Amino acid sequence: MDLPRGPTQNHLLAALPAAELERIAPQLELVPMLLGDVLCESGGQLQHVYFPATAIVSLQYTTEDGGSAEIAGVGNEGMLGVSLFLGGNSTPHCATVQTGGSGYRLKTHLLLEEFNRAGPMMRLLLRYTQALMTQMSQTAVCNRHHSVEQQLCRWLLATLDRLPSTELTMTQELIASMIGVRREGITAAAGHLQQAQCIRYRRGHITVLDRQGLESRVCECYGVVKNEYDRLLGDVRQR
């Protein structure tokens, strides 16, 4: 397990005032989050909320015929479990670990107790929820209107933003499943990016060689989501 530096590696936990963090810190449990782990099934109820530290979680919707697509990603900028404090208790999508690592989990009733204090935790989580909603809506727009190569660039950049390195462990088949396109489309798009020396791809591993090259090829969706996170949580990231 890739051990984090502590709970404050998660940006939301790091943004809490010392008193609030000290109150929940003894209840935060460091857990491995392994590639492919299903943290929540569609329609299921979470027993814990998760604050990723070095892992990334993919929120995915699966259709009746077995097709799937990612509607949002959650890394060290956020948390898994917003449905709990919004009153829904369950969601129609599943949550699967996209990039293995570790994170912290907290029992749901403890999060609700802290949220219902109507203090810093509540305000922070509501701002994060608005940013997450922007990511979900922009992902839907991107999947409908932009090319597979642009979608791949958006996905790669968003993943890089959550990781400390430029190395990604990810198969083309898994990326295709997340974006909701055929594997052949991802193969062709990755080939174009490799020819442009933006990435180097070898079986199951992607190395980003030229981030600026990806940014020059990505659609506006990446910037829209990033700017909204910066607007709502920019002060959070600076703490």
Domain match, 125 and 11 both: yes
Percentages helix, strand, coil for the chain, rounded to the nearest 5? 50, 25, 30
Alpha-carbon distances of 89 from 31, 116, 157, 239, rounded to whole Å: 22, 15, 31, 31
CB atoms within 10 A of CB 21: 17
Please provide the DSSP assignment of 157-199 as one string: HHHHTT-SSSEEE--HHHHHHHHTS-HHHHHHHHHHHHHTTSE
pLDDT at 239 over 60: no
Domain match, 31 and 111 both: yes
More confident residue, 46 or 75: 75
Domain membership of residue 194 (yes or no) is yes
Domain match, 124 and 197 both: no
pLDDT recorded at residue 88: 79
117-126 mean pLDDT: 94
- pLDDT category at 236 given cuts 50, 70, 90 is low
139-144 mean pLDDT: 91
Domain match, 123 and 231 both: yes
Domain match, 80 and 123 both: yes
Domain membership of residue 53 (yes or no) is yes
pLDDT recorded at residue 164: 86
CATH code of the domain covering residue 51:
2.60.120.10
> pTM, whole model, 2 decimals?
0.91
pLDDT at 234 over 90: no
Domain match, 163 and 139 both: no
**Domain range for residue 15?**
7-143+225-237
Nearest to 155 by CA among 214, 216, 229, 234: 214
Please provide the DSSP assignment of 17-79 as one string: -HHHHHHHGGG-EEEEE-TT-EEE-TT-B-SEEEEESS-EEEEEEE-TTS-EEEEEEE-TT--
Domain match, 128 and 54 both: yes
pLDDT per residue over 148-188, tens digit each?
A: 999 999 999 999 999 988 988 888 888 888 888 888 999 99
Nearest to 181 by CA among 170, 173, 193: 173
- pLDDT category at 17 given cuts 50, 70, 90 is very high
Average pLDDT of every residue of the chain = 90
Domain membership of residue 18 (yes or no) is yes
pLDDT at 53 over 70: yes
Domain match, 155 and 123 both: no
Domain match, 194 and 175 both: yes
Q: What SS3 class is residue 205?
A: strand
Domain membership of residue 1 (yes or no) is no
Domain match, 102 and 153 both: no
CATH code of the domain covering residue 192:
1.10.10.10
More confident residue, 61 or 66: 61
Cα 76 to chain centroid distance, Å, stands at 8
What domain count does the chain have?
A: 2
Domain match, 162 and 104 both: no
pLDDT at 238 over 60: no
Of 58-72, 94-108, 122-136, minimum mean pLDDT range: 58-72
